[in-house]
Structure 1
């Protein structure tokens, strides 16, 4: 299948694509011939948390994606700046076979890997780097993976670990992927942060030195900013990449992440111009930000979901009657009013209403304390039970105040005899333990990654994801069969029906309780230029500069 034919398939998936003219133009972007002269300006971002590392294939949150994937790295194909459109990245064009099982990527020549204090490349980017990046995730016996054995949750959650059967280097600038089954959103999936391309030469250097784990703390990529240093809970420092292959993207000579967990402190720093961009304001601070003439506050409806995951592998949460009781005893309206303070909309389904395939016919169970008590009695728990409820330690786009939400849930569940103990951990530990299934009930959430229902239903609820982002650890064959059916065809009507039916099963089985979709606000200094809110959550500094 040619790119033109592929364009027709992607239209069926309701993903915006480039026109023939713009695609041709995008494919012809030349790699820079020489080092660019960068503005002598420093851009400071007050970020909300410390990344667990920079090897983004092993992470699933925007904390790591902002600091690594969109700063240091590139991918074969990428989402446009502030967009859901797919555009050429390190691959300048691609072909898809007529049966949809082979993707051939033609790589961009002349792209340089970054030179750092710990690595000096001797060659440019080529097919070896693509093969290394994917083989490491695909093959448990791959030498670097054996030396540094870490999980790759997204790669597994999306079913790619099972579906990619072969990755071939056809020549130094051509790579072919072969799939077992049709994967309708494949291109969107590999535009995600986990698929950032690593340097095979750098990996070889680390392997020979016995320092494979350093790839997580000292990143090297082809991206717009070069990593310099990281002090946990303090700062991450980057330099602009003068050799970046895409002109006009790097607008600052230096980029600093000033890690500031407290949103009130972030705002004070922004007002004092100690940073020019900050993450996640408190809803209560929105009016004063809007009133400050030195600031601006773009916003958009969030492509996100905050929810309570029930670990269905642990008793009594393995009983659907118990999950239904917990679900219908939550005063969702009160939580949204208190926690989101006008910046959230009630959630019903396991994905936002702006996602195609959303089932509008579904409704929440009514808030009913007496019926919830009756369900617990029917489940053999007339006196209730003890439960640990995890609350995240940092502010997230889908949950501005997890501690307050947990306290309100604690009070709601006490009315039906459920005694919830609130616990928390440092953010990286919170996610790691959640992936391992140590929790009982857990506040968590999601921001869409590629604009397809599979990203919500498959990644958050599919059987392939039980060791990753399926925090409910829920593997239910009737549901999973529908997800795989939707993923395995490019027919839009068939995909939509599969996902609509899957949502009906979700609502009946309640593996998690959806709470809200939040509005995303982005406080900026008025001197910031070129900033666009990323619909998928991370904070990007492509084309961002200072007046």
Structure 2
């Protein structure tokens, strides 16, 4: 019954989107060379948007929607090589490293027409750094002791200790600038109708189906965006997303399966676009649970993973084997870390473990994601040779992310992309003892290295410390890195300047339609 309901719901969604795009074709809007083309872009997305509050947004389905509405003091460069001005035009560090001063951009307004002031910035950063269980990114601002208003266009951020990643950390969506006191709304009212300084503002939101944005006419960067509306349509099934773009019911398919890419490259009316990415597909092991808390068990499982086979069978060569748990496109990545596939070594580790005869575990797999399903089956077959009985449990993405936050899982697979150019976020989020991935892994040496690296301005020193962290993780296998993926998207002809940054953010300020 549930399967039939889902099919009917998907069919209804496809019909609705077809109607939407057919109607759009008759409209008009801005955009270079497109005066008679409605500037209404529809993106078929693999993840649902469930939260539009910057500080509590958790999955990429939330984050990449939040980034259309909100902006921060600093901005990530498109290639993830550093930061550039955002709502602040410049910043300086005090000689002792214990404070930073930011000069605010003049003439910026919120989507409701209200001018952005230093008061809004202070309130936003104070709210973001206020500890709360539902704020997974608050740890990035832990070193801030206070935010002071110097004058109407200047603020000063005080720190407990020197903190090299601060300007980068302030580029994260969770440090977004909001109107003070939610612009007179309650927090819940603001969640349902957020107010930001980004290129778009919320138009409508159908939970479990789609979220639609419209152009922010008060956007400070004049002439942008080119689009009138932007719709993120939640379509968890990869094949349905592909069909929607091929038939013209959506303009962009987020994350086509690798098996479909070659065929789509030869399909008229669409193109496959690839962007550099920090994406890592990895296996999340719950280190709190027996026998996954046994290093020998984890190392056995790691040795038994044939990553080359996964790249070939699942990704058709579009991905590459991951040797560490840090993205290859981030500062500090250590290419010298070894990743070895050896069933002999895997069996030796199992023999040393607390469960030499094997055990049973469950892998949680996202529904509608054939690639992760394939990987799960490969892992199931590989680990079976070690006496490990693996059961596959298919769940929707929202439930899987919720279970991860609660620690309610044995094994799951996720895709990680960094949100800022500095690797400190990745290190804290993934590997610190209180890491948000909730794997239960704890290593005081790793904690110390991460903390020391963040307080050191010397890039070479930081790289050495991050290399040490990667080596420890390779030896203890608290998680298993699988593959590094580029950002792949199927885009209909007539969509111009569609861009996705190396950090995964949709940069749709200059995107427009010509047909």
Q: TM-score, normalised by structure 2?
A: 0.88
Distance 1:195 1:497 in 2: 28
- 2:39 corresponds to 1:41: yes
- Residue 74 of structure 1: which of 71, 76, 80 is its match? 71
Q: CA deviation at 1:73?
A: 0.9
- CA shift in 2, pair 1:99/1:284, >3 Å: same
Residue 224 and residue 82 in structure 1: after superposition, are their counterparts in 2 closer, same or farther (change >3 A)?
farther
Q: How does 1:378-397 map to 2 (within 5 A)?
A: 378-393=352-367, 395=369
Match of 2:439 among 472, 479, 484: 472
Separation in 1, partners of 2:423, 2:215: 36
Superposition deviation, residue 61 in structure 1? 2.7
Aligned to 1:365: 340
Quick one: distance in 2 between partners of 1:366 and 1:409? 13
> 2:71 is paired with a residue of what secondary structure?
coil
Match of 1:338 among 313, 330, 335: 313
Partner of 2:476: 509
Question: 1:242 is matched with which residue?
Answer: 217
Name structure 2 gaps, 5 residues minimum. Answer: 1-28, 32-37
Residue among 120, 123, 136 paired with 1:153: 136
- Residue 458 of structure 1 aligns with which residue? 428
Question: In the aligned structure 1, how far is the partner of 2:94 from the partner of 2:493?
Answer: 48
3-state DSSP class of the match of 1:298?
Answer: strand
CA–CA distance in structure 1, aligned partners of residues 322 and 274 of structure 2? 19
Greater CA drift, 372-381 or 233-242: 372-381
C-alpha contact (below 8 Å) 1:304/1:351 kept by paired residues: no
User: What stretches of structure 1 move > 6 A for 4+ residues in a row?
Assistant: none
CA contact 1:62–1:538 (8 Å) conserved in 2 = no
Q: Is the 8 A contact 1:236 1:258 kept in 2?
A: yes
Distance in 1 of aligned mates of 2:382 and 2:284: 16
Structure 1 gaps of 5+ residues are: 1-36, 116-120, 141-148, 207-211
Aligned match for 1:137, one of 112, 125, 128: 128
Q: Residue 258 of structure 1: CA displacement?
A: 2.2
Do the aligned residues in 1 keep the contact of 2:128 with 2:174 (CA within 8 Å)? no
How far apart, CA to CA, are the structure 1 residues paired with 2:512 and 2:79? 15
Please name the residue that 2:149 is paired with: 169
Q: How many angstroms does 1:244 deviate by?
A: 0.8
Aligned mate of 1:95, from 92, 96, 101: 92
**Map of 2:103 onto structure 1:** 106
Counterpart of 1:519? 486
Moved more, 275-284 or 327-336: 327-336
Deviation for aligned residue 1:166: 0.8
Show the counterpart of 1:146.
none
Q: CA deviation at 1:114?
A: 1.6
Matches of 1:538 and 1:74 in 2, distance apart? 12
Distance 2:493 2:479 in 1: 40
- Cα RMSD for the two superposed structures: 2.1
Secondary structure (helix, strand or coil) at the match of 2:463 reads: helix
Q: Deviations over 1:2-39 (max 9, x none)?
A: xxxxxxxxxxxxxxxxxxxxxxxxxxxxxxxxxxx956
Q: Structure 1 residue aligned with 2:231, among 256, 264, 272?
A: 256
SS of structure 2 residue aligned to 1:55: coil
Return the TM-score normalized by structure 1. Answer: 0.83
| Deviation digits for residues 106-128 of structure 1 (CA, Å, limit 9, x no counterpart) | 2223222223xxxxx6x411122
Contact preservation (8 Å) 2:108, 2:197: yes
| Residue 423 to residue 217, structure 1, CA distance change in 2 (3 Å) | farther
CA distance in structure 1 between the partners assigned to 2:446 and 2:133 by the alignment: 29
Q: CA deviation at 1:185?
A: 1.7
CA contact (8 A) 1:184 1:487 kept: yes
Rate the CA distance shift 1:380–1:363 in 2: closer, same or farther, 3 A. same
Aligned partner of 2:452 in structure 1 is 485
CA distance in structure 2 between the partners assigned to 1:108 and 1:275 by the alignment = 36
Using a 3 Å threshold, how does the CA distance of structure 1 residues 519 and 89 change in structure 2: closer, same or farther? closer
State how many pairs are aligned. Answer: 480
Per-residue deviation, 1:463: 2.3
Equivalent pair of 1:82/1:533 in contact (CA under 8 Å): no
**What SS does the corresponding residue of 2:450 show, helix, strand or coil?**
helix
Q: 1:259 deviation in Å?
A: 2.0
Give per-residue Cα distances to partners, 1:35-77, cap 9 Å, x unaligned: xx956521211122211211132133321122122x1111111
Structure 1 position 217 matched with structure 2 position 192: yes
C-alpha displacement at 1:485, in angstroms? 1.5
Question: Structure 1 residues 38, 110: CA separation in 2 closer, same or farther (over 3 Å shift)?
Answer: farther
Q: Tell me the residue number matched to 2:412.
A: 442
